[in-house]
Amino acid sequence: MSDPTVSPASLERLKDVSVATLATALYKRGLRNQVIQDVRPVKAKGRNMVGPAFTLRYMPAREDRNQLVEFRNPKHPQRHAVETCPEGAVLVMDSRKDARAASAGDILITRLMKRGAAGVVTDGGFRDAMNIGELDMPAYHSRPSSPTNLTLNEAIDINVPIGCGDAPVFPGDIIVGDDDSVIVVPAHLADEIAAEAVEMTAYEHFVMSQVQSGATIIGLYPATKEENLDAFKTWRTENNR
Q: What is the pLDDT of residues 124-156, one digit of tens each?
A: 999 999 999 999 999 999 999 998 777 788 899
The fraction of the chain above a pLDDT of 90, given in percent, is: 86
Average pLDDT of the residues in 161-177: 98
* Parallel, antiparallel or unpaired: strands 119-122 and 90-94: parallel
Q: What is the pLDDT of residues 72-112, one digit of tens each?
A: 777 889 999 999 999 999 999 999 999 999 999 999 999 99
Number of neighbouring beta carbons within 10 Å of residue 112: 24
Contact between residue 124 and residue 96 where contact means Cβ atoms under 8 Å apart: yes
What pLDDT does 7 receive? 94
Q: What is the pLDDT of residues 170-181, one digit of tens each?
A: 999 999 999 999
Nearest one of 113, 221, 110, 94 to 167, comparing CA atoms: 94
Q: Is the pLDDT of residue 1 over 60?
A: no
Q: Is the pLDDT of residue 3 over 60?
A: no
What pLDDT does 2 receive? 44
> pTM here?
0.93
SS3 content of the chain, % helix, strand, coil (to 5): 35, 25, 40
